[in-house]
Amino acid sequence: MTSNHNFYELYKPLRNHLRKVCLEDALFVMWAYVQHLQFNTQIPPEIEVSRQFLSTEHRAEKGIYSWELELITKEIIINAQEGQRCPETLREWSYFAKAINNLKSLEDAIAKRYLNQINILTELHRIAHRQFPWQRPFFKGQLIRSYKIFKHPEIERIVHNKTGLTVYELYFIGYVLFSFYLKTPAIVYPIDVSIKEISRANVEKFLCRFSRELLEIRTLMKDEQEIGEKYAYSYSSLRAFPIIKMKYRNNLSIVCPLPTLLFWRITAGLYYEILHEDNFGVHFGESYQNYVGEIIEKANTEKKIIYIPESEYYVGNDRKDTVDWIVRDAESALFIECKTKRLILQAKVELEDTNAIQGEFEKMAQFILQIYKTIDDYRNNHYPSVKFDKNIQIYPLIVTLEDWYLFGEKLTVGLRGLVEQKIKKANLPLSYIEDMPYSICSIEEFEDLMQIIQLHGLQSVMKGKVYDKEKMRWDFKTFLGTRFKEEMKSIDYLFEEDYKTLFEQIVRSVI
């Protein structure tokens, strides 16, 4: 643990509060509340709950949030007692509420100490990365998106070499366990495998990658804990190992207090399992680019657009590649670059040291410069696949695999300044930014964007986003949800059939 002495004194009330409760009982309570907030399940009757909490329908107004419960779960694992006889219990509303209030008081004290007018925008960036993933619906989209990308033959080979499991076996086991953990926080270990598609040996391979013994996970989390400006944001091994091997109700069990973390771990989190394997980046980028093409094709139900994949070209003796995809109609064209680059952890958690986030902004600015460079080649008729047409309005678009949450002043001022510097240095016209404003969206937003473009046309949608001084600072989710509110209610999930084909068998196996 790293700590500041003054804040450690403020931390002690929460620590001492949780030291009086039993570990397994407290984890059960955390599981129950997070399930209620995430999936609207009923809180078990043995847990006392405030009527006001239950009667408040919108989870954003309940005053207790999933990201807070994740943090308290970490504190429970570090501080709660093993055994079944403890002086207090979080099943009592008053004791549970006091734990929440102790946490809020600690976070408020940290905010008062560290926040100022200079770093408030950095804090908003940190808040987004902590809170937004818990607020967004995540089920089918994340599942199929990750599955499709990881099913690339070369990535599948890397996954199998690393884990001993095929991508399908990994997802099958993970999905089955996740489904069980939606109903109960603990499964008796070793698991009585009664599903023919799952062998005990493969379950053990899965648990080897995604679970740890209680003592080990507790030690890791103690070492990671920080009492100071990164208290709520520091890395937690519970994200890497969401399943804990421990005694639960007198049985050796595998316990998952926060099933959402397991879901994230087997979908987007699988990336970190194989990130450093040889040639992973090349194959991953290729597979991601192909997935973006699938979205474009799948959304093109009215055949209102044409789309052109990447191709090579030469400027003199220099070999180059066009943008990854061009999406075009009669008036406009999206010039799309697909980027799998994720923000490094330091860029998500640092408040006072801004070097990490500035470094990541530099990389994003370089991506944007790259797209303007290739557009410049297109305008000079170097593209082999499409000739320059001065009547076509171009909209450069970066589609990121992970949401960078680049909105507000950070996008319009900080990032734009870096882009302008790079464009000047590359001897490109600064007017490109005004004439062809760039934008950035996540892959999740892109799936919606392409369907809205089918309904209203590329020009109508993009012009309303990038040329409006207010809306250009919004993320695409906010823009589409505001400007096309009714249409967003009715759009379909693009890969529903893929979901049914791939996971219907899994669902039948666990019901």
Report the pLDDT value the prediction gives residue 502, as an integer from 0 to 100.
78
**Which of 269, 274, 70 has its CA nearest to residue 171?**
269
Q: Which of 468, 461, 459 is nearest to 487 (CA)?
A: 461
**For residue 250, what pLDDT is reported?**
92
Instruction: Enter the tokens of residue 433.
Output: 């930014």
Contact 299, 454 (CB under 8 A): yes
Do 71 and 232 contact (CB within 8 A), yes or no? yes
Helix (H) or strand (E) segment spanning residue 481: helix 476-483
The sign one gets for the Cα dihedral 125, 129, 135, 140 is positive
Quote the tokens at residue 470.
């207010």
Q: From CA 31, how far away is CA 41, in angstroms rounded?
A: 11
List the domains of the chain with CATH numbers: 2-135 (no CATH), 139-275 (no CATH), 280-498 (3.40.91)
Neighbours of 466 (CB within 10 A): 17
* Side-chain-facing half-sphere of 269: CA atoms under 13 Å: 19
Q: How far apart are CA 47 and CA 13, in angstroms?
A: 23
> How many residues comprise the chain?
511
Output the CA torsion sign for 500, 505, 507, 511.
positive
Structure tokens at 143: 């599942």
Q: In this predicted structure, what is the pLDDT of residue 3?
A: 53
Note the Cα 256 to chain centre separation in Å. 19
| Residue 511 confidence (pLDDT) | 52
pLDDT along the chain (511 residues), means of 10: 69 96 98 94 95 86 94 98 91 97 94 89 89 83 92 96 94 92 96 79 95 98 91 94 96 97 94 91 96 96 93 94 96 97 87 86 96 97 94 97 79 84 97 96 96 95 93 92 93 88 67 52
Please name which of 160, 155, 169 lies closest in space to residue 290, comparing C-alpha atoms: 155
- C-alpha Rg value of the chain to the nearest Å: 25
Nearest to 140 by CA among 442, 399, 497, 449: 497
Predicted local distance difference test score (pLDDT) of residue 505: 65
Strand partners, 251: 248
Confidence at residue 71, expressed as pLDDT on a 0 to 100 scale? 97
Amino acid at 94: S
Whole-angstrom distance, CA of residue 32 vs CA of residue 258: 9
DSSP 326: E
